[in-house]
Amino acid sequence: MSSSIPEYLRQSVKVKETVDGVEINSFKVPPHKFFVNEEITYLTLPLNVDEKVLINKINELKLGRKTIEKLYAIRLDAEPWQYNELELPDLLNNEVDGTSMEGKGNVVYSAYIHVNGIKNFLKIIAFKYVSYVEVDIVRLAGYRGIVRYLIHF
């Protein structure tokens, strides 16, 4: 029996990348709309929210509620007419460390994430606006890319 209700939280495709000679366990990020489990870990950091809360918010998309939206996940090294999937390191299956930065203005969270000894592999930054929070995950190592989310609480 198949349901006509789309599942917005999906299984990820795992990949092994080599960045600056270092092996990284990564996953492919769906380009928009859909989420994979490993993205939840990224969102719990800046939002300071339990994973179950985020999973419930994603599941509410089935009901037409847009409490959490992924606007896009793009590689910035690709030609505009080509599509290459963005990959992010799996935070639970690599050696991960971080450096928090002081937030200024509407920045409520800002941190560089170091992966398997590669400094500043990623930057996670969250902006607080009146009715929502914007979270950007910026990939800086290997190639550049960005994932942007809007969260309405």
Task: Give DSSP secondary structure letters for 48-69.
Answer: T--HHHHHHHHHGGGGT--SEE
Does 70 map to a domain? Answer: yes
Does 1 map to a domain? Answer: no
Does 4 map to a domain? Answer: no
Name the domain count of the chain.
1
- Structural domain of residue 25, as residue ranges? 9-151
Phi and psi dihedrals of 101, rounded to 5? -115, 155
pLDDT in tens, the chain (153 residues): 455 667 899 999 999 999 999 999 999 999 999 999 999 999 999 999 999 999 999 999 999 898 999 999 999 986 777 778 999 999 999 999 999 999 899 999 999 999 999 999 999 999 999 999 999 999 999 999 999 999 997
Q: Please, what is the end-to-end C-alpha distance for the chain in angstroms?
A: 34
Does 67 map to a domain? Answer: yes
Whether this prediction's pTM lies above 0.85 is answered by yes
